[in-house]
């Protein structure tokens, strides 16, 4: 039986399963050995550590990464997804993709959520897939540029990062609404690290409550990101403490889901934050 998300009751943890050879954080599972076996092992470990959602991605989203075809993404994703689903683990299964073809095949195979780093703006059919299969969709703000032009048309006139992110998310929400995605199936992600400079990422976390005020559950993914490395002058494998601090502040500012690499540590951080925030004094 899948976990059920009751928003506002506690913080939920999403564990990252990278079915790629080129993850920025060095945790890609395509290392020449059995990717299916590796992904299943990691999924089972994450569940034992208390994860709520497993997020499977088969294309790297790091800056400069080469895009892969839908066919290759499916080839990487589906065998691992099938193996994880076969175990009937106590976790929601999310698929990290911006291609509707990949999302549909994954949902047909048994996935539960879509996690779209382009906020329904890359593929015009993605929102309709979310509606067709009646699944939650994570809509992320992406400050990078699409091939057809800037993500935010008035980006140059929006110096304030909160205004820029909210404006971009509103466009994505409108796309979802026009495709009849119900409000309860929309989750917002401010897109930490995606087309934002270090200071903007820090501001986004500190002012996350302003994104929360838009009226949707919030997912945030600060885990091992470069803004932590720049702040602490540390490589990706040494950013646990920085991730913990970013996670704790995000929770106090209203985050509902934290997307992480280090599940056990962040489950503990979230539990401690939740326990403190529940106290009324």
Tokens of 265: 């540590």
Q: Would you say 204 and 190 are in contact if contact means Cβ atoms under 8 Å apart?
A: yes
CA pair distance 129, 127, nearest whole angstrom: 5
Q: Report the run of H or E that residue 57 belongs to, with start and end.
A: strand 53-57
Strand partners, 146: 149
- Alpha carbons 1 and 200: distance in angstroms, whole number: 40
Ranges of beta strands (E only) in 104-171 are 113-116, 137-140, 145-146, 149-150
Query: Annotated active-site positions, please?
Result: 225, 259
| Sign of the Cα pseudo-torsion (222, 24, 38, 126, in order) | positive
Alpha-carbon distance of 130 to 109, in angstroms, equals: 14
- Cα–Cα distance measured from residue 126 to residue 103, given in angstroms and rounded to the nearest whole number: 8
What Å distances lie between residue 30 and 40, 234, 262, CA to CA?
Answer: 13, 25, 19
- Cβ-proximal residues to 38 (8 Å cutoff; 6+ apart), any chain: 29, 31
Yes or no: say if 270 and 250 are a contact pair by the CB < 8 Å rule: no
Give the closest residue to 272 by CA, choosing from 58, 14, 11: 11
């Amino acid at each position: 039986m899948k976990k059920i998300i009751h928003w506002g009751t506690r913080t939920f943890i999403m564990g990252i399963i990278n079915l790629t050879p080129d993850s920025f954080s060095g945790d890609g599972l395509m290392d020449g050995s059995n990717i299916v076996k590796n992904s299943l092992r990691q999924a089972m470990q994450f569940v034992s550590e208390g994860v709520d959602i497993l997020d499977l991605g088969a294309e790297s989203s790091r800056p400069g990464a080469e895009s892969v075809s839908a066919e290759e993404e499916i080839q990487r994703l589906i065998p691992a997804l099938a193996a994880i689903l076969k175990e009937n683990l106590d976790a929601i299964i999310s698929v990290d993709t911006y291609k509707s073809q990949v999302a549909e095949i994954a949902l047909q195979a048994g996935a539960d959520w879509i996690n779209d780093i382009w906020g329904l703006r890359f593929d015009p059919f993605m929102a309709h897939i979310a509606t067709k299969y009646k699944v939650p969709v994570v809509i992320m703000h992406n400050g990078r540029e699409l091939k057809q032009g800037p993500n935010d048309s008035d980006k140059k006139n929006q110096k304030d990062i909160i205004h820029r992110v909210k404006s971009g998310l509103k466009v994505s929400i409108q796309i979802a609404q026009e495709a009849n995605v119900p409000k309860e199936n929309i989750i917002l992600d401010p897109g930490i690290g995606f087309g934002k400079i270090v200071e903007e990422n820090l501001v986004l976390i500190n002012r996350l409550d302003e994104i929360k005020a838009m009226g949707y559950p919030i997912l945030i993914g600060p885990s091992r990101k470069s803004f932590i490395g720049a702040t602490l002058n540390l490589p990706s494998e040494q950013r646990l403490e920085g991730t913990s601090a970013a996670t704790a502040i995000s929770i106090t500012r209203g985050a509902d889901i934290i997307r992480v690499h280090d599940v056990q540590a962040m489950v503990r951080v979230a539990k401690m934050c939740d326990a403190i925030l529940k106290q009324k004094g």
